[in-house]
Amino acid sequence: MILCLSIGLLALTPLAYLLVRTIGETGGGTKTSSFLFSLRTLEHAGTSLGLAAVVTTASTLIALFLALCTGASDLPFRRTCTVLVVCPLAIPCYVGAAVYIGTFSPGGLLGGASEILGVRYGWFSGFWASAFVLTLFTYPLAYLPIRAGLSRSDRTLLEAARSLGHSRTRAWVHGMLPQIRTSMVAGSLMVALYTLSEFGAVSMLRCNTFTRVIYLEYESAFDRTGAALSSLALVALIGLILLLGEWMRGRNTSGQTGRPARPCRWRLGRWRWLGVPGVGVVTLLSVGIPLTSIFRWWGRSHSTDPVLDAILPALVTTMVLAVVAAVVVVILALPTSMLASRYPSKLSRMIERITHIGFGLPGIVIGLALVFVVLRFLPAVYQTWGIVIAGYVILFLAQATGPLRAGFDRAPRPLEDAARTLGARWPRRLRRITIPLLVPGMSSAFLLVFISTTKELPNTLLLAPAGSHTLSTRIWQYTEEAMYAESALPALILIALSAMMVAGLVWREGMVEKTA
Amino acid sequence: MRNRTVMNSFLVTTILALTGIGFADPASETEPTQEKVESPAEIIVYSGRSESLIGPALKKYEDATGNTVKVKYGSTSGLTALLLEEGGATPAHVFIAQDAGALGALAKNRRLAPISDSVLVEVEPRFRSPAGHWVGVTGRARSVAYNTNAMNPSDMPDSIRDFTDPKWKGRIGWAPGNGSFQAFVTAMRMRDGDAKTEAWLRGIMANEAVVYPKNSAIVRALGAGEVDLGFVNHYYLYRFLSEDPEFPVKNHFLPNGDPGTLVNVAGACMPKPATPDAARVAQAEELIRFLLDEEAQTYFATTTYEYPLAKGIAPAMNMPPLSSIETPDMDLSNLDDLEGTLVMLRKVGALP
């Protein structure tokens, strides 16, 4: 309990910092009132919420479709398809945005299309372009939990509904949907929060969300009070979305039966080949086009040697950092998710909500908050990797909580109690029951945090010790100078690294499915 | 039960401590270096300039002196925010910034230590802080770049103020979110007043200027023929020219001290530690002096195509000499009044 509270406190650091920055400054009061009631603020709030709504809806629908195709049907090449549809997670949104801007401009892959249509260059920008790009690269955040939910679901209810004479659709809506609702909402929540905090793509595509405004405020005015105010408003939006998520999740209807579930598997019959183009289109847009463009950039680079020298150490740093961060985040997320799953209370819900704030806040806010706190209370840690990892913990705790919580839901207390009555002592219970049931959740939490860490930029840039580099800071550096050819290699390595993790996980799950 | 929670929290404290201390070394040892006085010294630099531009110059410094330089790269604005947040606890000996506005903001917040006159005299007074808080290292001039297939230099108006004429509709590229552009608007406000500047911005917007995220994107777009002319910094063009000598874009420098020809600087300063430290200042000044030496200045001139600011060094690529560019007469330190510029850019709708 104390442990959970202290983790909650860590996650609250950014909020405390923002309050100090707003209240502590002179003239904070007048600024606050003029800020809150300005039309500009409302506009940005509207854009942020609108973008989150569109991206979340589209991502959830795509994710649901793909999860059904790859997880609950007899689609051909299911395993390959699963790897392919998770892959976009490995592509940072800012790379995705750069790729699409390049694709539609003259000389790009689809530059000809712009010319034929006679539209003005630079048309690919603004709200809808951002929604398009963000959807393509964030839907896996929803896909993974839905897919996991499907594999835990039980077709008994579905069969019962069918035997009572309900149509296929009706049976599905009443017998199946409630079973995966929790994981669907959890996934959508992650997409929504990510959209709120995303900076790279929206700034390239010029969509004025709160996060872009916060960066612009830091960028041009060195105005920390204004930026803190905007960030606080963003926290309010995050709260709103979290409440909405809770309302949609409703009461927990997971209905644990304790016996092995029989996941549903549809026979698609002659429709089975229709799922393939569906998966194909999504994969083409979210993996095919980006990879082709990056390879084209790579083809234009002249020298490789100095670039390689710069990339190898960055690769090592990235991998070590990502593994350590993922392990630490998963360990720290264990107690909070156990609390949320086994002892649901107002307090545990509150702690869970607090851990979500970090995922919705821009990285620069988290970074500055940590600088503020660490320099005051723990100056020895400053300029070490420890503070970078603390930043990742605040940012990605929520990502680990989701899958872990689902894991604890699968290993409920009654199961352990039953083992206890059979005379199993706690090490044996842990080894034979809790850990095996937790492993899938732990490994997907590890995977998510690993990939997010390798992609993360603003927090890394601000907090990493002087003289160090990661792959993403390298990519940033090259794209900043419009050296796209040089940025291609680190981008490809970054994508390959994450893709390997994805493939490993899917392959492992496939093995589990087979042996089960 | 209680015992277990106590043990748990002990465990986590240990883990936190381990991550804090144990992982201090995958790439480097980064203890603050205030106490090290003996040479070879370790100098910590925050750089808003990218490694590809400044890294080789710092390497030359390491080779020449035997000192080690540890650099934290980032955006000028991000690092400025970081320096303000760090205050006197900053480990940075030297901060290299992309524009005078950021340096001015740090000076105004009293975060900078004064630089010795012996270093300052290397640079003309118009390219350094009057109070000696920062010194320009390289200069970048604002210019109007144009596609040579789309127009001739004779089509150019006499002043940037004339681009509000409807005949330029749909032909202009600009980057209102870019720091250099905002510095130019600040300069225009100081010269022409707020009312005229605001009217000018509205005029450019009425001409449906195409918005780009930054200067390099404008120059690329000019080469591709997306727009006919763009408000940019002079040096991006030369990078494109060095890759493709046929690149169809040229710079035009507006005459008569036009705000459209403002020369801004990338400069260096010394963040002030909480307790004065003479040895640290000496090391920092040594590095800044090196950046103003002939070797480093020539390097900047030939690789970044900026204007070397130390006296007596010529620019590269047959660029017009700095003395021939008629910059508006003003104190660059005052370009930190970005707040007013931002309010204006937002008011006219050029920024969110």
Maximum Cα–Cα distance for chain B, whole Å? 86
Band the pLDDT of B36: cuts 50, 70, 90: very low
Q: What is the pLDDT of residue B112?
A: 94
Q: Which chain A residues are closer than 8 Å to B26 by Cβ?
A: 316-317, 320-321, 385, 468
What topology is assigned to B140-263+325-347 in CATH? D-Maltodextrin-Binding Protein; domain 2 (3.40.190)
The pTM for the full model equals: 0.80
| Chain B residue nearest residue A470, CA to CA | B27
* Domains defined for chain A, CATH in brackets: 1-37+302-516 (1.10.3720.10), 44-294 (1.10.3720.10)
pLDDT averaged over chain A?
80
pLDDT beyond 80 at B156: yes
Residues 6+ apart with CB under 8 A from A326: A445, A446, A447, A449, A450, A453
Label residue A327 exposed, middle or buried (CB < 10 Å: 0-12, 13-18, 19+): middle
> Which range has the worst mean pLDDT, A137-151, A301-315, B153-167, B199-213?
A301-315
Q: What is the pLDDT of residue A508?
A: 67
pLDDT beyond 50 at B33: no
Burial state string for A167-189 with b = 16 or more CB within 10 A and e = fewer than 16: eeeebbeebbeebbbbbbbbbbb
Helix residue ranges per DSSP H, A78-126: 78-86, 93-104, 111-117
Q: Which chain A residues are closer than 8 Å to B216 by Cβ?
A: 481-482
The DSSP line for A371-437 is: HHHHHHH-GGGTTSHHHHHHHHHHHHHHHHHHHHHHHHHHS-HHHHHHHHHTT--HHHHIIIIIHHH
Question: Is A105 close to B226, i.e. CB distance below 8 A?
Answer: yes
| Chain-centre distance for alpha carbon B276 | 27
Average pLDDT over residues A475-500: 81
Determine contact, residues B275/B151, Cβ cutoff 8 Å. Answer: no
pLDDT in tens, A77-111: 777 888 888 889 888 888 888 888 877 766 666 66
Q: What is the pLDDT of residue B206?
A: 93
Band the pLDDT of B6: cuts 50, 70, 90: very low
pLDDT averaged over chain B?
83
Q: What is the pLDDT of residue B23?
A: 40
What percentage of chain B exceeds 90 in pLDDT?
Answer: 39
pLDDT beyond 60 at B88: yes
Q: Which two tokens stand for residue A326?
A: 């993922």
Average pLDDT over residues A15-26: 76
Band the pLDDT of A169: cuts 50, 70, 90: confident
Q: What is the pLDDT of residue B37?
A: 43
Q: What is the pLDDT of residue B331?
A: 77
Among A203, A317, A466, the residue with its CB nearest the CB of B44 is A466
pLDDT beyond 80 at A38: no
Q: What is the pLDDT of residue B136?
A: 94
The secondary structure element, H or E, covering residue B266 is: strand B263-271
Average pLDDT over residues A56-78: 85
| Chain A residue nearest residue B219, CA to CA | A482
pLDDT beyond 60 at B150: yes
Q: What is the pLDDT of residue B196?
A: 94
pLDDT beyond 50 at B278: yes
How would you classify the pairing of strands B229-233 and B134-147?
antiparallel
Average pLDDT over residues A323-327: 94
Label residue A117 exposed, middle or buried (CB < 10 Å: 0-12, 13-18, 19+): exposed
Q: What is the pLDDT of residue A457?
A: 86
Interface predicted TM-score (ipTM):
0.77
> Which range has the worst mean pLDDT, A254-258, A374-378, A488-492?
A254-258
Average pLDDT over residues B7-20: 43
pLDDT in tens, A260-317: 556 666 666 666 667 778 888 888 999 898 898 888 878 776 655 566 777 888 999 9
Q: Which chain B residues are closer than 8 Å to A221 by Cβ?
A: 338-339, 342
Band the pLDDT of A424: cuts 50, 70, 90: confident
Question: Is A382 close to B81, i.e. CB distance below 8 A?
Answer: no
Q: How many CB atoms lie within 10 A of CB A295?
A: 11
The secondary structure element, H or E, covering residue B145 is: strand B134-147
Report which of residues B21 and A480 the model is more confident about: A480
Closest CA to B43 of B66, B69, B65, B64: B69
Taking the domains of chain B in order of start, what are their residue ranges? 37-138+264-319, 140-263+325-347
Label residue A276 exposed, middle or buried (CB < 10 Å: 0-12, 13-18, 19+): middle
Label residue A27 exposed, middle or buried (CB < 10 Å: 0-12, 13-18, 19+): exposed
Cis peptide before B213 (omega within 30 of 0): no
Question: Is A92 strand, coil or helix?
Answer: coil
Band the pLDDT of B4: cuts 50, 70, 90: very low
Q: What is the pLDDT of residue B227?
A: 92
Among A310, A364, A372, the residue with its CB nearest the CB of B78 is A364
Band the pLDDT of A206: cuts 50, 70, 90: confident
Closest CA to A284 of A457, A102, A84, A117: A84
Label residue A20 exposed, middle or buried (CB < 10 Å: 0-12, 13-18, 19+): middle
Q: What is the pLDDT of residue A106?
A: 63
DSSP lists the bridge partners of residue B95 as B46, B269
Q: What is the pLDDT of residue A441?
A: 82
Average pLDDT over residues A378-388: 86
B14 interface with A at CB cutoff 8 Å = no
> Which range has the worst mean pLDDT, A62-71, A421-430, B292-301?
A421-430
Band the pLDDT of B9: cuts 50, 70, 90: very low
Q: What is the pLDDT of residue A221?
A: 57
Q: Quick one: CA dihedral B202, B205, B211, B216, positive or negative? A: negative
What's domain B37-138+264-319's architecture?
3-Layer(aba) Sandwich (3.40)
The two domains B37-138+264-319 and B140-263+325-347 share their CATH topology (first three levels equal): yes
Among A321, A385, A462, the residue with its CB nearest the CB of B78 is A462
The vertex-A401 CA angle with A399 and A405, nearest 5°, equals 135
pLDDT beyond 70 at B7: no
Question: Is B15 close to A223, i.e. CB distance below 8 A?
Answer: no
Q: What is the pLDDT of residue B332?
A: 81
pLDDT in tens, B227-277: 999 999 998 898 888 888 889 999 999 988 888 899 989 999 999 988 888
Band the pLDDT of A126: cuts 50, 70, 90: confident
pLDDT beyond 50 at B152: yes
Q: What is the pLDDT of residue B26?
A: 39
Question: Is B224 close to A106, i.e. CB distance below 8 A?
Answer: yes
The secondary structure element, H or E, covering residue B142 is: strand B134-147
Average pLDDT over residues B282-300: 92
Distance between CA A384 and CA A387 in Å, rounded?
Answer: 6
Among B9, B52, B177, the residue with its CB nearest the CB of A3 is B9
